[in-house]
Amino acid sequence: NLNHITLVNFLRRVESEYNASNKYHNNIHAADVLQTLHSLLSMAVDGITSVLSKIDVFSLLLAAVSHDIAHPGTNNLYQVHALTDLAVIYNDKSVLENMHASKASQVILGTSNANVFESLSPKDSALVRTRMIQAILNTDMSHHFASVSFVDDLVSQLKEEGVDWSDIERTDDIANSISNFMLHLADISNPTKTSELAIYWAECALSEFFVQDDMEIEKNLPISPLCDRNETNLASSQRDFITFVVRPSFDVLGKIIPRVYDEVLPLIDANLKYWESQC
């Protein structure tokens, strides 16, 4: 029962809160993550989507479009080292992700004509907000390996028990874990795109990192990993990112969404080969 005009108002308000001057963490990145998540969910029809309710999916889509809202163009490490207001407010823990989640709630609850919760019951409204917050917080890369391991272990357990995804009874824990995992993968999905797009996004990310490098030098702060313009190499950093982060993660996703093996992994491998050739 979501009102179309309310949804449009929400999306416009969210987009207006993104920093268009950011080379990477901008409204286009948010749209890209949303579209990627939708594609992954579409690939999962009749599979893991059986463990996701409509509320789960709605929460996940809201999280996707809002996950980097109001991003300042600098990472968590910068916030902590610079003792920014955000770092102080959120006690140095998942600083930006906490801010993004809070800002998303402010947009929804603080804008009368953009409240996408208005057609929900109070119970469902609270549930969607909780799920949205959890998914956004999980985009913090510090949770990456734990998130991948949890889903991989779950897949292995189900395989040992001979249970198919379509036969699993939905539980909040499983739904949350799968939702959070899928949004996180959509967020790191640049190497799953065509070479032209993968290269574009890689260059955008590095450009933003180098802006942070300049700020860290100016403020006499420690230089964050991958931000040193004199040391960071685009090709080798992308090669390592794909090898140790992206490829293993999407391999796990392929175990629960088989189409990933045929439609996504070949693109990842092609991009890995390209970056290796540039090293």
Residues with catalytic annotation? 25
Distance of alpha carbon 171 from alpha carbon 169, whole angstroms: 6
SS3 108: helix
Rounded to whole angstroms, what are the CA distances from 124 to 59, 145, 265?
Answer: 10, 30, 36
Cα 76 to Cα 95: distance, rounded to the nearest angstrom: 6
Residue 29 labeled ligand binder: yes
Q: Known binder of ligand: residue 28?
A: yes
Is 100 annotated among the ligand-binding residues? no
The answer to whether 55 is a known ligand-binding residue is no
Instruction: Tell whether 68 is in a known binding site.
Output: yes
- At 96, give phi and psi (nearest 5°): -70, -40
Residues in the chain: 279
Confirm whether residue 67 is marked as ligand binding. Answer: yes
Residue 112 burial (10 A CB sphere; 0-12, 13-18, 19+): exposed
The burial of 53, by beta-carbon neighbours within 10 Å (0-12 exposed, 13-18 middle, 19 or more buried), is given as middle
27 assigned to a ligand binding site? yes
* CA 272/CA 237 separation, integer angstroms: 11
Binding site as annotated, residues for AMP: 25-29, 68, 187, 238
Binding site as annotated, residues for Zn(2+): 29, 67-68, 187
Binding site as annotated, residues: 25-29, 67-68, 187, 238
